[in-house]
Structure 1
């Protein structure tokens, strides 16, 4: 028996069987990531369901309002403390993963796993306009890296496992296994590697299966019946939709840079920066609670309710600037889901205008909301294939892949024509630039002292 076990172990460690090993390790990473993200999603959905009830209670019992703001300030202090312990948990986490894969950053997987999980639950749970997908990607990547390091894998194989974990995190966050695998190829590695694909497919499918055990097989967004696009004039409107939402997406990266620069140049001390968006969330919760948190309920509400165009513009403006205020502070949380919400709002506004101008029937309004998400994602992230497949899986609209690709590519071309940089590349380059300037400053300081 022992000899058989040794033979199996030797066979698995043979470099010629790397694909088989990646498949097995990918399944292990998928199980670990699925369980972790299931808990992560549960806690965030719990807060998402109870936050509106909390604000309703506070409106009925105003004596408790000061206590809630004290809680928000305490959360801000905890987030500052977590960020001081490890700066790699700041923001989305996806640029950090790209930096690790490029060999320009390093990550202490166990520490980042614990701190990112805690920080994202506290920040997003308190109402910050940030998404769960970026943290989910980083949490999965931490688990992938952990498996590689605990089993003493090579540098190259460690990268394959980290990438597989990142894809599993996205898949588990959104019930989107195919999008998770494509994300690894199109966004993280930017090449079609059979080794990356082998680990990613195994990890994403397994992670999604685990989360579906807890949350069911329903799509993340509940869009109801989405009409299938058949007529030529509707295709023409979808091209216009892609262009319209693509133009809206051009302002996202630029405003994100302005927000980050504003925080960096502000007189606020480090511990005060997380307090600003948290206290803003406390105020917004009484006047426009729809824009709090990631925004999944808002996307569903766009389908269920007939909002006036003025209110849609208010939601779009409020969600956009509140997301900038939150992300610029550097607290743990992603921009993936807020991007999709902004795209859905852009699609809803386009539908209102097109229907009012009698260019489109009212039945296509839901289609515009769904396709607007793919268009905004493609314009900002510049990964049109991932965007189309992600929205297809998140809404269950599998028969719309061709139309989603058309809209995504239109928005992508608008961003390409405008010279817009992919958001995660922009954030990574910014972080690397700050690191280089910090090294130069330290070197000059040591030289002056000597």
Structure 2
């Protein structure tokens, strides 16, 4: 087919530009709306003030102030909603289409009702205390809207796939106030292309989405972190710890992937979800910091206020309840859970290092470990580094130990992945 020319080309370019602008707006509004819903449910469930939904008392403060009985009761409600909700989605809605499948498949459109219900269930359950992440919900909603806009504007299949990916990036940019990471996620994680046809809409949609979301969420970083120094000791630790963190991230990805693949979709789902979240509620009577997507443990890890022993305990429990939740059939993202695990693991490794060479704050290890873990678990190293810098806003010099750890983490993770893949191929041939 010959490319359009004259008035037809102008008309097509105009429609494309409108879709780019509306996709950014949709990403910003979905991120803002879902964040408002999440905070409102958290305040209602755990009984802390509504005076400021976005910049007042933190979720961790609210959970710790709630009674142990209330924590168990809220998680019981969470299990009931999760089990019945996802059972109903799988039974009565059209089959879900993931963002990756929409971008890579022949039809980039995503079902409206199923996607919306799937996203709302994620937000509600995370607000009530699910250990999974909330970032998938705004990505799915914005990507779904982008697909509909492309269909309305009669864009080509390739253009539609780019815009669906841009919608997902815009949702991420909005909900976490990370416009650069949102654009990089589109280019590195979804489209695997830095050509201008992907770069321009990715940047524009993520910036628009972040600016729109800031109208309600404010222009604040996700985590309050001191400016740590990039010392020679920290750089040596980064080189040694990076591969270990990469191996741990690979194992985390493997077990969570297996849990998702084997999760129930039928009549067992409500029962297993109820059992899983009651179990988490009982754990929360002793460890209220466990509840939620992991932002609480990550924050106390980043600011260095968590004891080493508690960090080790929380790491084991966080991995456990993330696996049990996915295995029971709950849904959610793994960005903040992975970030939390990386921070806690780095604190444990950094504590051991500090016995030999004391002087480095534990929070400095945590920030580096979070970036290294995310880089390997999400398989998007550039996006992971940018996320951590937009999340925590450390000094520019701190980029050096972060990059050292990320390089070691990704190298170790990819080497193990390659060895495992080779063994699988050899076993098939044999």
* TM-score (norm. length: structure 2): 0.83
String of CA shifts for 1:372-416, please: whole Å, max 9, x gaps.
Answer: 111001121221111111111111126133432222111000101
Confirm whether residue 45 of structure 1 aligns to residue 39 of structure 2: yes
Given that 2:131 and 2:321 are in contact with CA atoms closer than 8 Å, whether structure 1 keeps it comes out as: yes
Given that 1:148 and 1:158 are in contact with CA atoms closer than 8 Å, whether structure 2 keeps it comes out as: yes
Confirm whether residue 381 of structure 1 aligns to residue 378 of structure 2: yes
Which residue of structure 2 lines up, in the alignment, with residue 186 of structure 1? Answer: 188
Displacement of 1:179:
0.9
SS in 2 for 1:128: coil
Given that 2:87 and 2:266 are in contact with CA atoms closer than 8 Å, whether structure 1 keeps it comes out as: no
Which residue of structure 2 lines up, in the alignment, with residue 122 of structure 1? Answer: 124
Displacement of 1:256:
1.7
Q: Where do residues 308-319 of structure 1 align in structure 2 (5 Å cutoff)?
A: 308-319=307-318
Confirm whether residue 26 of structure 1 aligns to residue 20 of structure 2: yes
String of CA shifts for 1:277-322, please: whole Å, max 9, x gaps.
Answer: 3222322221222121111122112244633322111100000111
Assess, with a 3 A threshold, how the Cα gap between structure 1 residues 210 and 128 changes in structure 2: closer, same or farther: same
Aligned partners of 1:197, 1:328: CA distance in 2, in Å? Answer: 37
Given that 1:22 and 1:199 are in contact with CA atoms closer than 8 Å, whether structure 2 keeps it comes out as: no
Which residue of structure 2 lines up, in the alignment, with residue 255 of structure 1? Answer: 255
Confirm whether residue 226 of structure 1 aligns to residue 227 of structure 2: yes
String of CA shifts for 1:91-121, please: whole Å, max 9, x gaps.
Answer: xx8xx21112221676434224421232112
Among candidates 135, 138, 157, match of residue 136 of structure 1: 138
Displacement of 1:203:
0.5
Assess, with a 3 A threshold, how the Cα gap between structure 1 residues 74 and 198 changes in structure 2: closer, same or farther: closer
Which residue of structure 1 lines up, in the alignment, with residue 281 of structure 2? Answer: 282
Which residue of structure 1 lines up, in the alignment, with residue 341 of structure 2? Answer: 342
Assess, with a 3 A threshold, how the Cα gap between structure 1 residues 418 and 87 changes in structure 2: closer, same or farther: farther
SS in 2 for 1:251: helix
SS in 1 for 2:305: coil
Matched length: 399
Displacement of 1:260:
3.6
Which residue of structure 1 lines up, in the alignment, with residue 414 of structure 2? Answer: 416
Confirm whether residue 323 of structure 1 aligns to residue 322 of structure 2: yes
Among candidates 386, 395, 404, match of residue 392 of structure 2: 395
Given that 1:176 and 1:393 are in contact with CA atoms closer than 8 Å, whether structure 2 keeps it comes out as: yes
String of CA shifts for 1:44-83, please: whole Å, max 9, x gaps.
Answer: 2344455464675444x68x96687367425531332133
SS in 1 for 2:193: coil
Given that 1:73 and 1:279 are in contact with CA atoms closer than 8 Å, whether structure 2 keeps it comes out as: no
String of CA shifts for 1:114-162, please: whole Å, max 9, x gaps.
Answer: 2123211222122111111122222221121121122222222211211
Question: What is the Cα-based RMSD across aligned positions, in Å?
Answer: 2.9
Aligned partners of 2:309, 2:73: CA distance in 1, in Å? Answer: 32
Given that 2:168 and 2:186 are in contact with CA atoms closer than 8 Å, whether structure 1 keeps it comes out as: yes
Which residue of structure 2 lines up, in the alignment, with residue 444 of structure 1? Answer: none
Which residue of structure 2 lines up, in the alignment, with residue 79 of structure 1? Answer: 86
String of CA shifts for 1:174-198, please: whole Å, max 9, x gaps.
Answer: 2111111111111111122211111
Displacement of 1:165:
0.4
Structure 1, unaligned runs of 5 or more:
1-7, 423-450
Structure 2, unaligned runs of 5 or more:
1-5, 47-59, 421-430
SS in 1 for 2:417: coil
Given that 1:167 and 1:204 are in contact with CA atoms closer than 8 Å, whether structure 2 keeps it comes out as: yes
Which residue of structure 1 lines up, in the alignment, with residue 352 of structure 2? Answer: 353
Given that 1:77 and 1:271 are in contact with CA atoms closer than 8 Å, whether structure 2 keeps it comes out as: yes
Assess, with a 3 A threshold, how the Cα gap between structure 1 residues 213 and 354 changes in structure 2: closer, same or farther: same
Confirm whether residue 370 of structure 1 aligns to residue 367 of structure 2: yes
Which residue of structure 2 lines up, in the alignment, with residue 175 of structure 1? Answer: 177
